[in-house]
Amino acid sequence: MGFGAPQTDFDVIIIGGGPSGLMAAIAAAGEGARTLLLDKGDRLGRKLAISGGNVTNNKPLSELLANVPGNPKFLYSALTQFGPADIVQFFEGLGIRLKEDDHGRMFPMSDKASTVVEVLVRQVQALGTTIWLNTPVSNLVHRDARLTLMLADDKRRLAAPAVIVASGGTRVP
């Protein structure tokens, strides 16, 4: 990578501005980390904004895992450390009142996904997170105990002690 020394102004760099990336930014910046949130799109939470706002499912863990296609063991560790009750507490702590439907899904009382997006983005901004939109990442390299990523648009390099990849699933067309 012959593009000069990487910029190292951040403790944590998060790739992806969806719900997981926004929550990761809140967690990192809330602990005092200098945090950068990158998203390749032109706005944060785009996919969540059109999803209906379902933030979790309040069913027991065994029932949730029984309905996971493929390998439910993959999610077991994450859900035992930060499960549905924790997610409900997180969102209610941000001021979003939630309601449960007949299938255990939890939605904002407003019935608007935009409520969730707006509150998450507002919290990320309030915590001083640096946000770069329209910033795709082309490469992530781990070498000599350092994580360095290359931005696709102008070939800049960024480095941080921690990089969180929260790029989500298939992009909305």
8 vs 142, residue with greater confidence: 142
113 vs 156, residue with greater confidence: 113
- pTM over cut 0.85: yes
pLDDT(3) > 60:
no
Predicted confidence at residue 151, as pLDDT, reads: 85
d(C-alpha 17, C-alpha 8), whole Å: 20
- Residue 34, number of CB atoms within 10 A of its CB: 16
Question: Stretch 6-18: mean pLDDT, rounded?
Answer: 89
Among 138-142, 159-163, 164-168, which is the least confidently predicted range?
138-142
The pLDDT tens digits for 131-140 are 999 999 988 8
77 vs 129, residue with greater confidence: 129
Q: Read out DSSP for the chain?
A: --S-SPB---SEEEE--SHHHHHHHHHHHHTT--EEEE-SSSSTTHHHHTTT---EE-S-HHHHHHT-SS-THHHHHHHHHS-HHHHHHHHHHTT--EEE-TTSEEEETT--HHHHHHHHHHHHHHTT-EEE-S--EEEEEEETTEEEEEETTT--EEEESEEEE---SSPP-
The pLDDT tens digits for 117-128 are 999 999 999 999
147 vs 31, residue with greater confidence: 31
144 vs 168, residue with greater confidence: 168
Predicted confidence at residue 1, as pLDDT, reads: 39
The pLDDT tens digits for 45-84 are 988 888 778 999 999 988 888 888 888 888 888 888 998 9
Averaged pLDDT of the chain: 88
Where does 1-52+112-173 sit in CATH, by number? 3.50.50.60
The pLDDT tens digits for 23-39 are 999 999 999 999 999 99
* CB proximity list for 165: less than 8 A, separation 6 or greater: 15, 16, 140
Task: Enumerate the domain spans of the chain.
Answer: 1-52+112-173, 54-111
